[in-house]
Structure 1
Amino acid sequence: MMDERETITLYDEEGKASEFEVLGVVTVEDNDYAILIPMDEEDEETAYIFRIDTDEDGDEVLTVVEDDEEFEKVKEAWEALCEEDFEEDYDEENLEDD
């Protein structure tokens, strides 16, 4: 069965649309952050971090994380989460092989 991945379309200042795959969401210091990778770029290693904010109408909006310290905290939290997932997957595989 094919793995359905969530995608999102973002628009730049000129109105140009870009498709992103949502890798996941991580919470750091009571803020949620979306981790996105572009679907049209050749470099699949590039990920972008956006803070999930709420606008005046109550709608969720993505805000670019420009603060280096905030970015590093989110990056570290995401890497730790990925390591935990990897370890859980590895443990499950080893249990099945026994």
Structure 2
Amino acid sequence: MSNCEHDYEHDHECEESTVVLTDEDGNEHEFELLTILEVDNTNYAVLLPLEIPEGEDGEDFEEEAIILRINQDEEGNDVLQEIEDDAEWDKVAAEYDKLAEEDEE
């Protein structure tokens, strides 16, 4: 995984929160904010893409949630960052899976 931070906009007023991430090439991508998880006193955003990535067939595209750590920059603004540590990723993914299983019941 790359070590890149993403600027994002989050509309707190909406029932379905939309997050816009800007990638390293300046392209904007929209995601639905499914939930914010707290694991070991750190917050993580669970996001689902709202658009099918280029090159993907709409019928075959399998939506997968992505999880990003919520950090703060020097000015106190929230910044989303990829999780690089495998152990941290495994712990957060397990917590999300547990939450998803509870929602299915």
Which residue in 2 is equivalent to 1:26? 37
**Number of residue pairs the alignment of both structures matches:** 85
Q: Secondary structure at the match of 1:25?
A: strand
Structure (1/2) with the larger helix percentage: 1
Structure 1 residue runs without a partner (length 5+): 88-98
Which residue in 2 is equivalent to 1:6? 17
Structure 2 residue runs without a partner (length 5+): 1-14, 53-57
Q: Secondary structure at the match of 2:16?
A: coil
Structure 1 residue 48, shift from structure 2 partner: 0.9
Question: Which of structures 1 and 2 has the larger relative contact order (alpha carbons within 8 angstroms, sep 6+)?
Answer: 2
TM-score in terms of structure 2 length: 0.74
- Once the two structures are aligned, what percentage of the paired residues are identical? 44
What aligned pairs does 1:49-68 form with structure 2 within 5 A after superposition?
49-68=67-86
CA distance in 1, matches of 2:104, 2:65: 18
Greater C-alpha Rg: 1
Question: What CA deviation, in whole Å up to 9, does each residue of 1:50-78 have, x standing for no partner?
Answer: 00011110111101112111111111001
Structure 1 residue 85, shift from structure 2 partner: 2.4
Matched, 1:45 2:56: no
